[in-house]
């Protein structure tokens, strides 16, 4: 069942691709009277074995020049034992030769050439016989052309057909200008987004720095409390204002006590008067035995 589904999907995709090719290509047949430039002697017959009008020449170096617009060109003709060698040149591409000799008469496709879509110029030239001269008498070479067609994409063909009518001018923006406008808009939007992101980063850093300043630090509070409890510390906040007299007294004390010298008592012998007084009898004192 799965293989059947895959097969059906492949068939549907192929049908869609072929339908898109048919829908996007337009086949145009070259008009021998208006679309072709003949160089040399050319003749035309209406009773060609291929059932269509036949343009032929037996003159070496006779050419036809066909201008066309499209992406594929197809050249058909008749081949027989007198058909010669065809030289094909398209635009600036390298020319190539096509041997048309055939022992039997047949109507065939000479070649199909694919190229880029656009305006092209093709030349077809009979350059000689296909049969070697050593094999016998070389027949007169002949080139028979029955049909030339080229394929044009549907969009390009519609544009060329619309060009024959008088169009109403409609302001349009060229693709290059669209690309430039898109690039400018993208650059402006990128700059705006960059500025917004930069501002957000700066604001975030500023808030983070401010928050760090006001953050609670228990160590700082402990140090500040210890400093306030020491009235003699010169770095204590508000010491000069709250305890200025005490601080001044402490300073004076430190200055004065640093130069204070205590002298020992000086010994002086007692005078006779003091000695006599000391020997006088004291009241209520009994003499010693």
pLDDT, one tens digit per residue, over 235-272 is 445 544 444 555 455 545 454 544 555 566 665 555 55
Higher pLDDT, 136 or 110: 110
Amino acid 11: pLDDT: 42
Burial state string for 21-53 with b = 16 or more CB within 10 A and e = fewer than 16: eeeebbeeebebeeebeeeeebeeeeebebeee
130 contacts 82 by C-beta, under 8 angstroms: no
Task: Return the C-alpha torsion angle 241, 242, 245, 246, nearest 10.
Answer: -130
Closest residue by Cα to residue 68 from 116, 104, 125, 120: 120
* CA gap 67, 42 in Å, rounded: 18
Amino acid 6: pLDDT: 47
Q: How confident is the model at residue 167 (pLDDT cuts 50, 70, 90)?
A: very low
Q: Is 143 exposed, middle or buried (0-12, 13-18, 19+ CB in 10 A)?
A: buried
Q: Which residues contact 143 (CB under 8 A, 6 or more apart)?
A: 56, 57, 58, 62, 77, 83, 84, 86, 100, 124, 126
pLDDT, one tens digit per residue, over 24-58 is 578 999 999 999 999 999 999 888 888 777 899 99
Closest residue by Cα to residue 86 from 141, 130, 146, 127: 127
pLDDT, one tens digit per residue, over 122-161 is 999 999 887 554 455 556 889 999 999 999 987 654 555 4
* CA gap 166, 146 in Å, rounded: 36
If DSSP codes are grouped into helix, strand and coil, which group holds residue 109? Answer: strand
Longest dimension (CA), the chain: 201
The helix (H) or strand (E) run that includes residue 247 is helix 244-257
Give the relative orientation of helices 154-163 and 2-24 as an angle to the nearest 10 degrees.
20
Amino acid 169: pLDDT: 37
Q: Which residues contact 150 (CB under 8 A, 6 or more apart)?
A: 27, 28, 30, 68, 69, 70, 72, 73, 74
pLDDT, one tens digit per residue, over 181-222 is 566 667 777 887 888 888 888 888 888 777 766 555 555 555
């Amino acid at each position: 069942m799965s293989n059947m589904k895959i097969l059906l999907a492949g068939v549907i995709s192929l049908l869609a691709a072929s339908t898109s090719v048919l829908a996007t290509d337009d086949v145009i047949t070259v008009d021998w009277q208006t679309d072709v430039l003949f160089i040399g002697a050319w003749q035309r017959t209406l009773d060609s074995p291929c059932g269509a009008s036949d343009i032929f020449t037996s003159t070496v170096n006779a050419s036809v020049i066909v201008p066309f617009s499209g992406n594929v060109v197809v050249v058909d003709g008749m081949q027989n034992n007198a058909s010669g060698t065809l030289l094909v040149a398209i635009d600036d591409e390298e020319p190539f030769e096509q041997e048309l000799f055939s022992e039997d008469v047949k109507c065939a496709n000479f070649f199909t050439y694919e190229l880029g879509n656009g305006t092209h110029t093709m030349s077809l030239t009979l350059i000689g016989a296909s049969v070697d001269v050593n094999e016998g008498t070389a027949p007169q070479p002949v080139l028979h052309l029955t049909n030339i067609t080229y394929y044009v994409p549907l969009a390009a063909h519609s544009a060329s057909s619309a060009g024959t009518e008088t169009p109403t001018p409609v302001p349009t923006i060229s693709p290059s200008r669209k690309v430039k406008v898109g690039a400018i808009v993208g650059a402006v939007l990128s700059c705006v987004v960059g500025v917004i992101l930069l501002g957000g980063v700066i604001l975030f850093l500023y808030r983070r720095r401010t928050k760090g300043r006001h953050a609670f630090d228990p160590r700082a509070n402990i140090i500040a409390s210890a400093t306030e409890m020491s009235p003699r510390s010169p770095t204590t906040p508000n010491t000069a204002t709250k305890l200025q007299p005490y601080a001044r007294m402490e300073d004076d004390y430190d200055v004065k006590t640093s130069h204070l010298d205590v002298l020992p008592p000086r010994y002086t012998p007692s005078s006779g008067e003091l000695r006599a007084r000391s020997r006088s009898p004291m009241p209520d004192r009994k003499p010693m035995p």
